[in-house]
Structure 1
């Protein structure tokens, strides 16, 4: 019998607001017996602006540490679930959808902060872009906080 979701991708940014999405993703993965790919994407635009600055190595290390913390939190939350973690860099939405295609993911789960109106229009959102460009279903989890 085929599993409902064989492979689930959780995109995490390590924020408090993202924890609801991670928790829901883990529940779904447990219920479906899925493999989870947890990814943290170091935003290329932050990295590029830091390259000209002498402290860029330090900033890179800090962003990478944030990524480590984020995926380690997923590891703690997902104990007992088949899990692989990745820290990647690039444009977050693009990296998420490309990774999902390469790994033949069945479901992408991303958190959303529930912005609306002008704020959403001005800021755009990684979740919005993932929804528009992914080739598999995308589940957005709105933060409870």
Structure 2
């Protein structure tokens, strides 16, 4: 009989938003219960850099993004005490980077945050969670942010 965990590898795509904090906390609870390894990734959306035309704007935006990356990863590290945690900073299209990373690492579960928008708001803004759900090769629970 093999010793199989329900979820051996859990992926959390993190940022510093409130919608994401609830997802991180939920993923850490699942990881604690299952004895899982957690991969926390921050994806720098390269389309933001491409749209920053002026060099000074691009430089300032890059610095802000690097600061946010550091804050996000450090917050996850503080929250995930006692959990086997690995952090990564990637760049690319966020949903694609998340699902490709999950595939490469053979992740069993991707936990994402959502603000629970519906209707025209969701249509206009798009939804990272929706795209990840549609393209991931594993379960993707969404955690609605607490208000």
Task: Name the TM-score, length of structure 1 as normaliser.
Answer: 0.96
Gaps of 5+ in 2: none
Distance 2:19 2:106 in 1: 27
After the TM superposition, which segments of 4 or more aligned residues of structure 1 sit over 6 Å from their partners? none
Q: How does 1:20-31 map to 2 (within 5 A)?
A: 20-31=22-33
Structure 2 counterparts to residues 1-145 of structure 1, below 5 A: 1-50=3-52, 52-55=53-56, 56-145=58-147
SS in structure 2 opposite 1:2? coil
Deviation at residue 58 of structure 1 after TM alignment: 2.6
- Is residue 9–residue 38 contact of structure 1 (8 Å, CA) maintained in 2? yes
1:89-145 superposed Cα distances (whole Å, 9 cap, x missing partner): 111000000000000000000000100011111211100000000011101000012
- Contact 1:68/1:87 (<8 A) preserved: no
TM-score, structure 2 length as denominator? 0.95
SS at match of 1:46: helix
Residues of 1 paired with 2:18 and 2:145: CA distance? Answer: 9
Give the count of matched residue pairs: 144
SS in 1 for 2:61: helix
Q: Determine the C-alpha separation between the residues in 1 that align with 2:119 and 2:142.
A: 18
What is the CA–CA distance in structure 1 between the aligned matches of 2:6 and 2:127, rounded to whole Å?
A: 28
In 2, are the aligned partners of 1:18 and 1:143 still within 8 Å (CA)? yes
